[in-house]
Every structure is written in structure tokens, then in C-alpha cells.
Amino acid sequence: MVDAINKILKEKNIFSHLNAGITVATVGSLHDGYALAQAILYHLIDAKTVLYLSGGSTPKVLYERFAKEERLLPGAVGVVDERFGTKFHEKSNEKLLQETGLLRYFQMRSIPFYPILQGKNREETAASYDEKFRTLNATYQKSVGILGIGTDGHIASIAPKRPDFMSPMFAANHALVAECNDPNSLYGERVGMTFVGLSMLDVLVVLVFGDAKQKPLDLLFADGPEEELPARFFKRPDVAKKTLFITDQRI
């Protein structure tokens, strides 16, 4: 799939280079970035693919485009991470996907969607989705994840270490999906893929747009522990070779 991505970048005359083994595609605008992401994902994703979606304002625009164009045809769709709570609560990624029209589109095309929230407690929710994640990856030949990087360098629901909090997701040696509760920050209760889970995906498409992302990008490519900046996970050699950054920032 890496060869397919490089072919598209060449055909579209997009400047790209390797940095720490990661393919970095540099675009001139948000519009160009979303258009490139769409072209690549339309090419990669088919009925043999399970697609995992993350939340956030950046991918939300992409999801709105997918819903409007009605061309995305994965075999199944899951979620990278979720803010824990009742189903479709106001801050949930499930609610965000509903607002973009993507869930309606999946239903219309009979594309199975597997949300994280199921009305269980946080621990049961994580265990249940860990099992679902394993089943989906065993069922479909390919897996693709759409992610972003937070201004503090977090990815999915894996937050940087603080003096008063160390996410248990860093210690999840075997779990593909885990849970955490950080009541003293904006993160709160979360359920999402661990580093182990993310490393199981075949392709990671990472959208990094806006001047606010320049600092975490600079820190990402500097030396330092993943606990300080979880986005450094993408530099792991086995992960970097299947990771694509689409960005309008300098790397």
C-alpha cells in the first residue's frame, strides 16, 4: 500500500519526503490536504478494508466530504478512540460522525459501523472493543486508520505524561484497546487504541494542519520519550514505514 500512496503523490505532483522513515506529503492549503487525503483513501479502501476513524475538527471536514460524495466503500468501519459516556453524548466522536452525515451514509450503503460506546461501564467497554478490534482485523485483509496530532502531542486518547497523571495506556503491553480516567484535565474518561493497537493497523493516515501543529511536529522529530510526546510513536521503525503525514507545516 505504501507503493500505491507514493504513486498517487507522484501523479498529483505533491512534494513528499521521508523524515525518520515517515512519508511526509506537504500541501499548500487545507483544501489541497483534504483533496489529497480523499484521493489516497478512495484508492486504498475497498470491501476488504476495515477503516478506523478518529475524532477532532480536522478529520470532521474530511468526513463531511465523504458523506457528500458517497464514494467511500469500506467493508466495515470502527473508531480509533472515544470520550466515554452515554451513546451519542454531546462530546462523543460517535455524535461527531453522526453530525457529518457519515453514519447515515454507512447505513444507506449497508456498511457495518462498530462504535465503542455500548452502554457498559468503562472497563467493560474497553474489553469489549478490544475483542471487536481483534475480530475485525482478523476478518478483513486490510486496516486503515485516520488520525491527527493534538497541540500537546497526544494521539488517539493517549495523553502526555504529567506530574499528576500517567496514562495507563502506556503500560498496556498486550491490550489493543484500553481505558483511562484523567479527571483533572480536559481528557476525562476515555477508551481507545493503545500503541499496541495502533501498531496493528496496516496504514496510518495522519492529518496535521494549521500553525498550532508546528510545535508538536518539531518536538515529534526531536529526541525524547513517547511518554512526553505520544506522537513520537509514529517514529517507531515498524510504524513509520506505514505512516503518511499530510500537512501544511514545515517538517
CB distance 137 to 193 below 8 Å:
no
Is residue 2 scored above 80 in pLDDT?
no
| Per-residue model confidence (pLDDT) at position 43 | 95
End-to-end CA distance of the chain: 23
Residue 155: CB atoms within 10 Å: 28
Which range is least confidently modeled, 44-53, 100-109, 160-169, 223-232? 160-169
Asked whether the CA dihedral 87, 88, 92, 97 is positive or negative, the reply is positive
Asked whether the CA dihedral 44, 117, 193, 141 is positive or negative, the reply is negative
- What's the alpha-carbon Rg for the chain, to the nearest Å? 17
Instruction: Report residue 127 as a C-alpha cell.
Output: 474489553
Is residue 1 scored above 90 in pLDDT?
no
Q: Tell how strand 49-53 and strand 177-182 pair up.
A: unpaired
CB distance 207 to 146 below 8 Å:
yes
Instruction: Report residue 21 as a C-alpha cell.
Output: 522513515
**Section 14-26 average pLDDT:** 96
**Section 127-137 average pLDDT:** 98
- Crossing angle (nearest 10°) for helices 30-44 and 2-11: 140
Averaged pLDDT score across all residues of the chain: 96
DSSP state of 159: P
Task: With cut-offs at 50, 70 and 90, classify the pLDDT of residue 173.
Answer: confident
Is residue 91 scored above 80 in pLDDT?
yes
| Per-residue model confidence (pLDDT) at position 3 | 82
Say how far apart CA 166 and CA 61 lie, in whole Å.
Answer: 32
| Per-residue model confidence (pLDDT) at position 196 | 97
Q: Which helix (H) or strand (E) holds 38?
A: helix 30-44
Instruction: Report residue 238 as a C-alpha cell.
Output: 515498524
The amino acid that residue 188 corresponds to is G
| Per-residue model confidence (pLDDT) at position 213 | 97
Instruction: Express the helix, strand and coil content of the chain in percent, nearest 5 each.
Output: 40, 25, 35
CB distance 159 to 220 below 8 Å:
no
| Per-residue model confidence (pLDDT) at position 4 | 86
| Per-residue model confidence (pLDDT) at position 83 | 98
- Sketch out the chain's domains with CATH numbers: 2-11+22-232 (3.40.50.1360)
Q: Which residue has the cell 462530546?
A: 91
Say how far apart CA 80 and CA 3 lie, in whole Å.
Answer: 25
Say how far apart CA 14 and CA 16 lie, in whole Å.
Answer: 6
Task: With cut-offs at 50, 70 and 90, classify the pLDDT of residue 172.
Answer: confident
Is residue 171 scored above 90 in pLDDT?
no
Task: With cut-offs at 50, 70 and 90, classify the pLDDT of residue 17.
Answer: very high
pTM beyond 0.95, yes or no = yes
State pLDDT tens for residues 190-238.
Answer: 999 999 999 999 999 999 999 999 999 999 999 999 999 999 999 999 9
